[in-house]
Amino acid sequence: MHDFQYKGNELYCEDVSIKEIAKEVGTPFYLYSYNTLKNHFNAFNSAFADIPHIVCFAVKANSNIALLKIFAGEGGGFDIVSGGELYRALGAGADPQKIVYAGVGKTREEIRYALKSNILMFNAESSQELFAIDEVAEDLGVKARVALRVNPDIDARTHPYISTGLKSHKFGISTGDALEGYRLARSLKSIDVVGIHKHIGSQITQTRPFVDALERIISMIDTLKGEGLNIKYLDIGGGLGITYKDESPPHPKELAAEISPILKETGCTIIFEPGRVIVGNAGILVTKVLYTKQSEGKNFVIVDAAMNDLVRPSFYGSYHSILPVNKNSDSNKIVADVVGPICESGDFLAKDRVLPDLKKDSLTAIMSAGAYGFTMSSNYNSRLRVPEVLVKGSEFFIIRRRENYEDLIRCEEIPAFLK
């Protein structure tokens, strides 16, 4: 459930009229509901209340520091994948002992920053990375807590671009090589082996792939414990899907009912890395119709948001439902492509979509845009990145301002020979 609902014919976020926000901040903008964010976080967290665990929100899904602050305040930790995400998490007041760091390409500078920040653990993805972590830790005179990311070779049954748990993917160490990886980690002086990690993909709408992957990992934990390794943390990654259109993914409670018994048996503290399921349906992208046109019988609705603002439809062919901010009950339905101003045919937010006959200047809401929306946005076509707004009750707050033209060229310089 989320807090974007019609009151009469007008779409609201909690108790605030979206039209009123648009009047003040202009369009396009991302809009998040505090209530939905908090409820989603707590629904996930409480589903696993009976096992020792930490919910480490996947920062890549939405990295706005105001949102991170909400989750930190609810007792959440963070799953990070770069020094930049570490900086954001710390800036939001995260407890470093609730930060886990994944990714196949951590640089030495990033490893150093994470060690100095005393994060809970690295989820290491290769033996070369283990050597790098060991060397940097030795240099700093500290011990690095490490889990190995094991690739369980499980089909997450999701979009190929967001599936990560097959052995053909770049992620983790195969189950066949994992034992050797653990022996190597144990032999390194500045590494303290504390856990095991897996993450098989994103937008997973069934419980089966989670259970299958867990079974593989759990048989490994027994082997590792047999080797005398102290596996305290089992990090099962993220990946739980949401409803964009007609998917019916399990509620966190249903997932918990299936996997908690398996998790409990391990005696480990369980780490979860949910992203999308917390923020996906807690955010929308509000955009305005600039023009409409027909061409050879095809309808185009040209809006002021584009693929640089929300790349998911262009990149993955993702479906985002599109709602009018003001419902006009007697408007006809049309079939149209909703497109942005960017000079690419791939710049669309919806294709062949049945929509109310939206007129010039009407506001529309691109739903389920809270995850991998703003974080994947860019300045392509030198478009300014849009503001992010947070609603709480009857108030709204700008949590990231709209960029301006100076922002666009802030980091650029004309070399002397061209002046």
CB 81 within 8 A of CB 122: no
**Does 203 help bind ligand LLP (rule: CB under 6 A)?**
yes
* Proportion of the chain in helix, strand, coil states, percent, rounded to 5: 35, 25, 40
Calculate the alpha carbon distances from 52 to 98, 117, 220, 385 in Å.
Answer: 13, 24, 20, 40
Q: How many CB atoms lie within 10 A of CB 379?
A: 12
> Within positions 314 to 373, which residues make up the interface with ligand LLP, using CB under 6 A?
316, 371-372
Angle in degrees, CA 192, 216, 176, rounded to 5: 70
CB of 138 to ligand LLP, least distance (A): 26
CB of 8 to ligand LLP, least distance (A): 33
Q: Which stretch binds ligand LLP (CB under 6 A): 113-121, 237-245, 334-342, 395-403?
A: 237-245
Q: Over the range 316-335, which residues count as b (16 or more CB within 10 Å of their CB) and which as e?
A: eebbbebbbbbeeeeeeeee
| 22, 25, 58, 136: residue in contact with ligand LLP (rule CB under 6 A) | 58
| 102, 137, 221, 365: residue in contact with ligand LLP (rule CB under 6 A) | 102
User: 343 catalytic, yes or no?
Assistant: yes
- Provide the residue type at 51 as one letter: I
**Does 273 help bind ligand LLP (rule: CB under 6 A)?**
yes
CB of 163 to ligand LLP, least distance (A): 10
CB of 357 to ligand LLP, least distance (A): 30
Smaller CB separation from ligand LLP, 12 or 122 = 122
Q: Which of 139, 248, 140, 143 is nearest to 185 (CA)?
A: 143
Angle in degrees, CA 193, 197, 199, rounded to 5: 165
Smaller CB separation from ligand LLP, 173 or 325 = 173
**Does 162 help bind ligand LLP (rule: CB under 6 A)?**
yes
Q: Looking at 13, 268, 343, 411, which residue is catalytic?
A: 343
Strands 283-295 and 298-303, how do they pair?
A: antiparallel
Smaller CB separation from ligand LLP, 199 or 353 = 199
> Within positions 61 to 90, which residues make up the interface with ligand LLP, using CB under 6 A?
61, 79
DSSP-derived 3-state class of residue 108: helix
What are the residues binding ligand LLP (CB under 6 A)?
58, 60-61, 79, 102, 162, 199, 202-203, 237-240, 273-277, 312, 316, 371-372, 376
Active site residues: 343
